[in-house]
Amino acid sequence: MSAATVRILPRSLIPAVGGLILAVAAAMTPASGGEGATVFKLSGTAERQVENDRMIATLVAEAREPEARDAAARVNRMMEGALAMLEEFEEIDSRTMDYSTRAIQERNDRSRITAWQVRQSLELRGGDFDSLAERVGELQQEHDLTVSGIRFGVSADLRREVRREMIDEAVIDMKDEARAMARSIGASHLRPLEMELTHEGSRAPQPMMARAEGVSSAPALEAGESTLTVRVDGRIQALGADTLRVSPR
């Protein structure tokens, strides 16, 4: 039996050989990024029907007089009376909006002003639909305001609560899509690289309501539901995928 031959490398070659070993080891390690990595660009969505808990009513005080100051005085009295009545209802938020003055011109002579029209809007918001509907009726009957529109929506607090749950659902939806794609290429692990909340929205069918001449009762309305949506976009890296062989034509 011949004795094994042992060769001792010169000290000057040890750093170079050590660097070569590390380079080979790195090349054999599964790619964690950069060249050769597979990155999926995906999105996940969540949609939910949520009961509207907020009612918004818009009413208008309007007057037409030969003099602009008289029309303005009438509108101011109507609005002051409406705001005074609403002070005792703490559950209703109110604010004035959209004050405008417009000259009414004679049809056949546009240079002649025949009257002045002054208009101001009043917006009411609240979660007690019955109380707010009754106040709308009283404002029409007692203060000569007219209803411009009524709509329903989701309050900020409820939207924030539901939004957190929907973000989880949207991320799960995106992860499910990523797993399905990873399985199709033989990847064993997934690593999220980026995630972004790119879209939030809501839509709700709005009731249409108009006041008929001489009618001043509280409107009968149904709040209904709003559809809330959340979308998450992201980039997810697939690791451990097999090399895909492409057969020649």
pLDDT at 218: 56
Higher pLDDT, 31 or 151: 151
C-alpha span between 114 and 66 (Å, rounded): 6
Q: Can you give the pLDDT at residue 244?
A: 63
Residues forming a β-bridge with 178: none
- Specify whether the CB–CB gap between 181 and 238 falls below 8 A: yes
Domain pair 38-53+154-240 / 55-151, same fold: no
The answer, yes or no, to whether residue 228 has pLDDT greater than 60, is yes
Is 122 within 8 Å of 97 (Cβ atoms)? yes
DSSP, collapsed to helix, strand or coil, labels residue 41 as strand
Q: Kindly tell me if the per-residue pLDDT of 14 is higher than 90.
A: no
**Could you tell me which CATH class the domain 38-53+154-240 is placed in?**
alpha beta
Q: Is the pLDDT at 16 greater than 90, yes or no?
A: no
Mean pLDDT of the chain: 82
List 113's β-bridge partners, or say none. 105
Higher pLDDT, 17 or 245: 245
Assigned token pair, 59: 């009413």
- CB-based burial label for 230 (10 Å; 0-12, 13-18, 19+): buried
On the 0-12 / 13-18 / 19+ scale of CB atoms within 10 A, 248 is exposed
pLDDT of residue 217: 55
Residue 182 has pLDDT above 50, yes or no: yes
CA 161 from chain center: how many Å? 13
pLDDT score for 108: 84
> What would the DSSP string read from start to end of 82-140?
HHHHHTT-TTEEEEEEEEEEEEEEPSS-TT-EEEEEEEEEEEEEES-HHHHHHHHHHHH
| pLDDT mean over 189-198 | 92
CA–CA distance, 150 with 109 (Å, rounded to integer) = 38
Are the C-beta atoms of residues 68 and 118 closer than 8 Å to each other? Answer: yes
Of the chain, the percentage scoring pLDDT greater than 90 comes to: 64
pLDDT value at position 109?
83
The owner of tokens 């909340």 is 197
Asked if residues 160 and 228 have their Cβ atoms less than 8 Å apart, the reply is no
Per-residue pLDDT at 10? 53
Residue 152 · residue 63 · CB < 8 Å: no
Q: What is the CATH number of domain 55-151?
A: 3.30.70.360
User: Where along the chain do its domains lie?
Assistant: 38-53+154-240, 55-151
Report the pLDDT averaged over residues 188-209.
Answer: 77
Average pLDDT score over residue span 112-137: 94
